[in-house]
Amino acid sequence: MTDARSDILLDRMMSLHPKIIDLTLDRMWRILAALDHPERRVPPVIHIAGTNGKGSTLAIIRAGLEGAGLSTHAYTSPHLARFHERIRVAGGLIEESTLSRILDTCLEANGPDPITYFEITTAAAFLAFAETRADYTLLEVGLGGRLDATNVIEAPALTVITPVDLDHQQFLGDTVEKIAAEKAGILKRGVRCVVGPQQDAALEVIEDRAQRLGAPLFVYGQHWHVWEERGRLIFQDETGLLDLPMPALLGAHQVQNAGAALAALRLLNLGDTAYESAMTDVTWPARMQRLRHGPLIDAAPEAEIWLDGGHNPHAAAALVEALSRLPTRPTHMICGMLKTKDVAGYLRPLGQIAASFQTVSIPEQTATLSANETAEIARSTRIHAETAQSVDAALKTIVQTDPTARVLICGSLYLAGIVLRDNG
Domain boundaries, the chain: 3-280, 289-422
**pLDDT exceeds 70 at position 258:** yes
Return the pLDDT at 424.
65
The alpha carbon dihedral of 85, 255, 331, 168 has a sign of positive
Which CATH number fits the domain 3-280, given the four candidates 2.120.10.30, 3.40.50.300, 3.40.50.10150, 3.40.1190.10? Answer: 3.40.1190.10
**Furthest CA-CA distance within the chain:** 61
- Asked if the domains at 3-280 and 289-422 fall in one CATH topology, the answer is no
Share of the chain above pLDDT 90, in %: 76
What integer best gives the mean pLDDT of the chain?
92
Which CATH number fits the domain 289-422, given the four candidates 1.10.3720.10, 3.40.50.2000, 3.90.190.20, 3.40.50.720? Answer: 3.90.190.20
Return the pLDDT at 170.
59
Residue 42, phi then psi, degrees to nearest 5: -80, 155
- Mean pLDDT across 385-396: 97
- DSSP codes, 299-344: HSTTSEEEE----SHHHHHHHHHHHHTSPS--EEEEE--BTTS-HH
Binned at pLDDT 50, 70 and 90, residue 339 comes out as very high
pLDDT tens readout for residues 187-201:
999 999 999 999 999
pLDDT tens readout for residues 208-248:
999 999 999 999 999 999 999 999 999 999 999 999 999 99
Q: How many CB atoms lie within 10 A of CB 36?
A: 11
**pLDDT exceeds 70 at position 168:** no
More confident position, 331 or 284:
331
d(CA 401, CA 302): 12
**pLDDT exceeds 50 at position 70:** yes
Buried b (16+ CB within 10 A) or exposed e, 258-273: bbbbbbbbbbbebeee
- CA 128 → CA 42, 94, 131, 329, distances in Å? 9, 8, 5, 46
- CA 413 → CA 8, 360, 366, 369, 417, distances in Å? 23, 14, 14, 14, 6
pLDDT tens readout for residues 344-355:
999 999 998 999
What pTM was computed for the model?
0.84
**pLDDT exceeds 70 at position 110:** yes
- The number of angstroms, rounded, from the C-alpha of 102 to the middle of its chain's C-alpha atoms is 24
pLDDT tens readout for residues 298-320:
999 999 999 999 888 888 988 89
Going across the sheet that includes 232-237, the strands are 224-229, 232-237, 240-245
pLDDT tens readout for residues 129-165:
999 999 999 999 998 889 999 999 999 999 999 999 8
Q: Nearest to residue 424, comparing CAs of 3, 82, 68?
A: 82
Return the pLDDT at 18.
60
